[in-house]
Amino acid sequence: MARSLPIIVATSWVGFCLVLPVLGVLLLIGDGLWRVLGRGAELLSSFFEVPGLLSMVGQSLGTALISVFISFVLVLLTLPHTLQRSQSWFARVLIGMPHLVVAIGLVWLLAPTGWLWRVFGATEPSITLFEQQSLISLWLVLVLKEFPFLWLVAGIALKRLPVANWFVQGRALGRTDAQIWWLVVVPAVVRQLRLALIIVAVYSASVVDVALLLGPQSPPLFAVQVYQWFMDFGPQRADYARWGSILLLALSLLLVGIVVLHERVFLWLTARGLSRSRVLGLPPAWLPQVMLTVLLCLLVLIVFQLLILTGARGWFFPQLWPASWELQQVLQTVQNLAPTILSSFLLAAVVSVLATVTVVLLTELQRHYQKQVSLTLVLLPLLLPQIILLLGWQSAYFLFSNTPHWAWIVLCHLPFSIAYTFIVYAPIEALYPQRTLVVAQSLGHSYWQAWWRLKARSLARVIGFSFGFAAVIALAQYLPVQMTAAGRVQTLTTEFVSLASGGIRPEVVTIGLVLTLVSFIALSLQTVKGDTQS
Partner 1 sequence: MRQWLLALSLLLSGWFCSIAYAAQDWQATLAEARGQTVYFHAWGGQQEVNDYLQWVAAELARQYDIRLVHVKVADIAESAQRLVNENQAEPSAVDLLWINGENFHFLKRQQQLLAELDKKVPNRSLLAPADEWQRDFGVATDGYELPWGVGQFQLLVREQVLNEVNVTTAELSPQQLLRYAKKHPGRISYPKPPEFHGSTWLKNLIWSLSAGDPRLLEAPTNAAEQALLPLLWGYLDELHPLLWRAGEEFPASQAQTLNMLANQQLDMALSFSPQQLSQLQQQGLMPRGITRAYLAGGAITNHHYLAISRRTAVPAAALVSLNFLLSPEAQQAKRDSAWADLSVLQQARTGANTELFPTAPELHVDWVERLEQTWLARYQ
Q: Give strand pairing partners of 324.
A: 313
Instruction: Please provide residue 459's backbone torsions phi and psi, each rounded to the nearest 5 degrees.
Output: -100, 15
How far is 36 from 391, CA to CA, in rounded Å?
A: 15
Give 231 or 261: the residue with its C-beta nearer to partner 1: 231
- Shortest Å distance, C-beta 431 to partner 1: 42
Give 288 or 404: the residue with its C-beta nearer to partner 1: 404
- Shortest Å distance, C-beta 71 to partner 1: 25
Give 142 or 437: the residue with its C-beta nearer to partner 1: 142
- Shortest Å distance, C-beta 86 to partner 1: 38
Give 224 or 418: the residue with its C-beta nearer to partner 1: 224
Rg of the chain, C-alpha, whole Å: 24
- Shortest Å distance, C-beta 281 to partner 1: 43
- Shortest Å distance, C-beta 410 to partner 1: 17
The number of angstroms, rounded, from the C-alpha of 100 to the middle of its chain's C-alpha atoms is: 13
How far is 238 from 372, CA to CA, in rounded Å?
A: 37
Q: Give strand pairing partners of 313.
A: 324
Give 131 or 364: the residue with its C-beta nearer to partner 1: 131
Task: Give the single-character DSSP code of 81.
Answer: G
Give 58 or 283: the residue with its C-beta nearer to partner 1: 58
CA distances from 510 to 110, 144, 202, 288, 453 (A): 20, 21, 29, 32, 43
Q: Which residues, including other chains, have CB under 8 Å from residue 73's CB and lie 6 or more apart?
A: none
Give 94 or 330: the residue with its C-beta nearer to partner 1: 330
- Shortest Å distance, C-beta 501 to partner 1: 4
Chain residues that interact with partner 1, rule: CB under 8 A? 51-52, 112-113, 124-125, 132-133, 212-213, 216-219, 228, 230-235, 312-318, 322-324, 326, 391, 394-395, 398-399, 401-404, 478, 482-483, 486-488, 490, 494-495, 497-505, 507
How far is 167 from 144, CA to CA, in rounded Å?
A: 32
How far is 320 from 300, CA to CA, in rounded Å?
A: 17
CA distances from 469 to 104, 353, 416, 421, 496 (A): 23, 11, 11, 7, 20
Tell me the DSSP string of 110-171. HSTT-HHHHHTT--SPPP-S--SS-HHHHHHHHHHHHHHHHHHHHHHHHHHS-HHHHHHHHH
Give 295 or 515: the residue with its C-beta nearer to partner 1: 515
Give 73 or 323: the residue with its C-beta nearer to partner 1: 323
- Shortest Å distance, C-beta 199 to partner 1: 24
b (16+ CB within 10 A) / e for 299-322: bebbbebbebbbbbeebebeeeee
- Shortest Å distance, C-beta 329 to partner 1: 9
- Shortest Å distance, C-beta 517 to partner 1: 20
